[in-house]
Structure 1
Amino acid sequence: MAESAQYEELVRQFSAFGAVKREMNRLMPSDCPSGSAAVLTVLGRDGDMRMSRLAELLSVDMSVTSRHVAHLAERGWIERSPDPADKRSRILRLTPAGRTRLDELFRLTTQLLAERLCDWSDEEVGRLTQLMARLRSSFGDPRTVPRQAPSALEPTTRTPAST
């Protein structure tokens, strides 16, 4: 198990990683903020789904998901259809225009990463990818594990770096 100092440095690196995410978000087109891009990404990766599943995969509240979905539907990038199994629910799916927009977003972010990591070896980029996937798995990847709300009796702790 790692030393306490290593975990402290990891917390500092997570805080610094926010700058990387902000730069990636800045290159998003003004009509597609990062939350909307995340919805497109999940639908592109996982296919058609109910809004409740989308909220779970994004790890955000249903009201936040609903706002992003409305934004994308207004632009014609996703469509909402009645769920045949439950007419009260909607199935979300990418439209061809949404697929085109998603492809553009991937091109932009891939280009940024290629520019910033141009002095990294293929092995280093692969290792970072593996470690990030493992980290996500250690925290319970919502794509494979249903997210459970913390018990009201369990204390929650926040460090300044995580708020």
Structure 2
Amino acid sequence: MADERELQEAVAGFVRAFGLHRPDRTPCGQPIPVSEAHALGELARDGALRQCDLAQRLRLEKSSTSRLVTQLINRGWAERAQAPDDGRGVLVQLTPAGTHAAARLAAARAARFAAVLDRVPAGEHANVLRALELLTEAMDED
């Protein structure tokens, strides 16, 4: 019981310290909803994606992803297109403004993570990364 409570408190502390509890602002301080930032990152990394694939990567329901993509479109950051190999498929891709927004976010994220890692003793870097991987794997099993 104590281990579960300690894990809960540690994760809650991490969420608060990293700013993950503020859905309207990224942990790197950008005034963009976290879900939009994640979508921009996925689209910037891999180019046009089927909307259903974006939903899977973001671990969101299709309807939530559809609303998210509409928000990106309304900001001028993304556009939908018909998938060339499937008349029912929908591709989502970044516009030039979306590519610029994604690059700005990536730079802010890189700076934030570099600053955080600088405060972790160098000999502990691998342990921190492994602990995060283990937690992610354990959560993925749900």
TM-score band w.r.t. shorter chain: 0.7 to 0.9
The structure whose residues are more often helix, as a share, is: 2
Question: What TM-score do you get using the length of structure 1 for normalisation?
Answer: 0.69
Partner amino acid for 2:48?
Answer: D
Partner amino acid for 2:34?
Answer: S
Question: What TM-score do you get using the length of structure 2 for normalisation?
Answer: 0.78
- What is the CA-CA distance between 1:82 and the residue it aligns to? 0.4
**How many percent identity over aligned positions?**
29
Of structures 1 and 2, the one with the larger relative CO (CA 8 A, separation 6+) is: 1
Match of 1:158 in 2: none
1:127–1:103: structure 2 CA closer, same or farther, 3 Å change rule? farther
Give structure 1 regions of 4+ aligned residues with deviation exceeding 6 angstroms. none
Asked if structure 2 preserves the Cα contact closer than 8 Å seen for 1:28 and 1:34, the reply is no
Structure 1 spans left out of the alignment, 5+ residues: 142-149, 151-163
- Whether 2:86 is the aligned partner of 1:86: answer yes
- For 1:107 and 1:56, the matched residues in 2 are separated by 25
- For 1:134 and 1:85, the matched residues in 2 are separated by 38
- What is the CA-CA distance between 1:62 and the residue it aligns to? 1.7
Secondary structure of 1:55 counterpart? helix
Match of 2:26 in 1: 25
Match of 1:156 in 2: none
Match of 2:105 in 1: 105
- For 2:95 and 2:122, the matched residues in 1 are separated by 34
Q: State the aligned residue count.
A: 137
Structure 2 spans left out of the alignment, 5+ residues: none
